């Protein structure tokens, strides 16, 4: 069950124009905010099915209830994964592993969100009501060009229901239960609400170095660094101050000389099983999980875990084989083949990077203030020993 309400901003939408920053451009996107909500019934297979967008197109926000404990390890390409756990998680906590080391030593709230990456991180924040509602409720605050909106995500016994506040009832374009998705044919289905609100979009950009003349750039850098000079660096604070001015000078030179261009996003790939054997395993695992819920038995757990790892091994081998054949075909050309090899090597490096940063729960100060962003959390860490720059010995491990 999800509900939403709105708070109007003091600035009219017509006066909020695009903001240009170094490396990124925040622009106003389309005029429709698409919000989905789904009870995944503590099932990883239902979470994986969300990788396929509904007929209405890619959703901006997905509110989930009754999430499984393996949800932190289920990212969706193009989305930020947001949840709350009792402590910071590591890979060994993954309950989907064959032998998880500490799966019972932590707990996770039963509600969570997927937020589209095109929405700037500074425009949304999530508050989890862990103590008040025993981890069954959370609120996402989102700033849009039409005002701010609060999306309440509540896990309860009621299904396929969405409540809308009176302030934005007139902005509801549609709200319907999606019944034509094969993955959600049970009583808990995906509900999509479309609001006539303009979400902000973040368009990433890169520096167009090919358009820069080397001499002009070096001259601009020399002028910027000459303006700040090189003062004596006698303390850590002097170094920090100089680095801040150095970064500011380089940023000024880049803005003056180097143009930026937006990055064209690749179309989102629809998820599908990599082989027929993988699809068969999914159905076998679902039956085993249903039997475990009816009468918990360790043999069912071992049964579907064994089939899971065998299926994953076969799929990895097929993927490697098909990838090598594809690269060999691309490299047949003498000139263009070399260019394609370089292109695919560069893309492969990016694909191999982690999809998202390691998760850390929200931090709360002594006065009750909550810190949720990565930068805000980083500033809350306090040194526990002598600074290595001043001490005569390294800090103890």
147 half-sphere exposure, CB direction, 13 A CA radius: 14
* Cα distance between residue 246 and residue 225, in whole Å: 7
pLDDT of residue 26: 44
Between 76 and 277, residue with greater pLDDT: 76
Q: Which residue has the higher pLDDT, 278 or 253?
A: 253
Residue 267 pLDDT more than 50?
Answer: no
Pairing state of beta strands 162-164 and 2-7? parallel
- Interval 190-223: pLDDT, tens: 899 999 888 888 766 677 888 888 888 889 889 8
- What is the predicted pLDDT for the residue at 364? 78
Report pLDDT digits (tens) over 136-157.
999 999 988 778 899 999 998 7
The rounded mean pLDDT for the chain is 76
Hey, where are the domains in the chain?
Answer: 2-202, 209-258, 276-351
Q: Which of 18-27, 116-125, 310-319 shows the lowest per-residue confidence on average (mean pLDDT)?
A: 18-27
CB atoms within 10 A of CB 337: 15
The CATH architecture assigned to 2-202 reads 4-Layer Sandwich (3.60)
Residue 283 neighbours by CB under 8 Å, 6+ apart: none
31 Cα distance to chain centroid: 22
pLDDT surpassing 60 at residue 35: yes
pLDDT of residue 349: 76
pLDDT at 242 over 50: yes
Give the residue-averaged pLDDT of 263-276.
48
Q: What is the mean pLDDT of the segment spanning 365-394?
A: 67
Looking at the predicted structure, is the pLDDT value of residue 24 above 70? no
Q: What is the pLDDT of residue 152?
A: 92
Does the pLDDT at position 9 exceed 50?
A: no
* HSE value, Cβ hemisphere, 13 Å, CA-based, for 232: 2
Name the band, by pLDDT with cuts 50, 70 and 90, for residue 66.
very high
Report pLDDT for 23: 39
pLDDT tens per residue across span 288-344: 666 666 666 666 667 667 766 777 777 777 777 777 777 777 766 655 656 777 777
* Long-range contacts, 246-255 (Cβ 8 Å, 24+): 249/224, 249/225, 250/221, 250/224, 251/22, 252/224, 253/217, 253/220, 253/221, 253/223, 253/224, 254/22, 254/207, 255/22
Tokens of 229: 């000079």
pLDDT of residue 25: 43
């Amino acid at each position: 069950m999800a509900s939403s309400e709105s708070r109007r901003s003091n600035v009219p939408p017509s006066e909020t124009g695009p903001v240009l920053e170094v490396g990124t451009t925040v622009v106003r996107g389309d005029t429709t905010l698409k919000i989905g909500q789904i009870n995944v019934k503590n099932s990883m297979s239902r979470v994986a099915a969300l990788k396929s967008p509904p007929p209405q197109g890619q959703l901006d926000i997905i509110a989930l209830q009754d999430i499984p404990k393996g949800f932190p390890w289920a990212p969706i390409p193009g989305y930020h994964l947001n949840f709350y756990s009792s402590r910071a998680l590591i890979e060994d906590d993954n309950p989907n592993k064959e032998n998880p080391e500490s799966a019972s030593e932590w707990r996770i709230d039963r509600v969570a969100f997927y937020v589209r990456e095109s929405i700037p991180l500074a425009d949304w924040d999530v508050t989890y009501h862990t103590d008040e509602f025993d981890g069954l409720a959370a609120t996402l605050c989102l700033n849009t060009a039409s005002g701010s909106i609060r999306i309440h995500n509540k896990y309860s016994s009621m299904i396929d229901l969405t409540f809308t506040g009176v302030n934005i009832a007139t902005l509801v374009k549609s709200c319907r239960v999606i019944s034509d998705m094969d993955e959600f044919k049970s009583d808990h289905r995906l509900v999509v609400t479309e609001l006539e609100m303009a979400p902000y979009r973040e368009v990433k950009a890169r520096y167009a170095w090919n358009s820069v003349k080397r001499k002009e750039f070096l001259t601009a850098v020399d002028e910027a660094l000459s303006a700040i000079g090189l003062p004596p660096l006698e303390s850590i604070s002097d170094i920090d101050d100089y680095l801040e001015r150095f970064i500011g000078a380089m940023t000024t030179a880049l803005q003056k000389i180097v143009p930026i261009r937006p990055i064209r996003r690749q179309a989102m790939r629809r998820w599908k099983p990599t082989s027929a054997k993988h699809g068969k395993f999914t159905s076998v695992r679902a039956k085993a999980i249903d039997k475990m819920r009816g009468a918990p038995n360790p043999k069912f757990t071992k049964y579907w875990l064994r089939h899971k790892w065998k299926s994953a091994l076969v799929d990895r081998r097929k993927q490697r084989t098909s990838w090598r054949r594809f690269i060999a075909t691309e490299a047949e050309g003498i000139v263009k083949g070399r260019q394609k090899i370089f292109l695919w090597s560069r893309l492969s490096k990016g694909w191999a990077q982690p999809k998202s940063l390691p998760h850390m729960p929200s931090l709360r100060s002594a006065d009750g203030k909550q810190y949720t962003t990565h930068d805000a959390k980083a500033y809350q860490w306090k040194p526990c020993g002598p600074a290595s720059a001043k001490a005569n010995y390294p800090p103890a491990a």
